[in-house]
Amino acid sequence: MTSFPTDLRYTHDHEWLRAAGSSWRVGITQFAVDQLGDITLVDLPREGDLVTKGQRFGTIESVKSVSDLYAPVSGRVTAVNAALKDAPEQVNSEPYGAGWMIELEPTEQSEIGELMTHEAYSQHVAAQ
């Protein structure tokens, strides 16, 4: 079974959330990267945009498909990883590092607690 970082919270749609100062950083998991294949394009919202938990905030294209990205929590986008515009392959090589996508300031702190721990996410992935 694949091991997932213990400091993250996870969605059923394979996004992750990590504390980054007063905001929270969002990306996709290694499991999602493995399913997608080589990432060729990441389309993200603009800084200042509002996102809603469970709703699409962007898309990710790979050699295999185009997939929607879903917000793990509701909030305002405080930063966008502009480096992905010219180097989307960073999502493949470092999904938990340089491949992060956006940072948000949550509007509903309680939504963070509703996300899966790494143990629960590991079980979720194993069941697929």
Residue 70 in any domain: the answer is: yes
Domain span including residue 43:
9-120
CB atoms within 10 A of CB 89: 14
**Percent of the chain residues past pLDDT 70, beyond the cut:** 98
In this predicted structure, what is the pLDDT of residue 3? 77
The pLDDT, as a whole number, for residue 2 is 64
What pLDDT is recorded for position 56? 97
Q: Is 125 among the domain residues?
A: no
Please state, in angstroms and rounded to a whole number, the distance separating the CA atoms of residues 9 and 40: 26
Q: Which residues pair with 9 in a beta bridge?
A: 17
Classify residue 127: in a domain, yes or no: no
- The pLDDT tens digits for 113-125 are 999 999 999 999 9
pLDDT tens profile 64-103: 899 999 999 999 999 999 999 999 999 999 999 999 999 9
pLDDT at res. 62: 95
Instruction: Answer whether residue 128 is part of any domain.
Output: no
Neighbours of 10 (CB within 10 A): 23
Domain membership of residue 3 (yes or no) is no
Mean pLDDT, residues 56-60 taken together? 97
Domain count for the chain: 1
> How many CB atoms within 10 Å of residue 98?
14
CATH number of the domain at 99, please: 2.40.50.100
> Residue 56 carries which side chain, given as an amino acid letter?
R
pLDDT at 21: 87
Q: What is the mean pLDDT of residues 32-49?
A: 96
Smallest CA-to-CA distance from 72 within 23, 126, 4 is with: 23
Instruction: Round to whole Å and give the CA distance between 28 and 35.
Output: 11
| Average pLDDT value over all residues in the chain | 95
> What's the CA gap between 46 and 31, in Å, rounded?
26
Q: What pLDDT sits at residue 22? A: 86
Give, for 105, the enclosing helix (H) or strand (E). Answer: strand 102-106
- Residue 1 within a domain: no
- Determine, yes or no, domain membership for 71: yes
Residue 65 CB coordination number (10 Å): 10
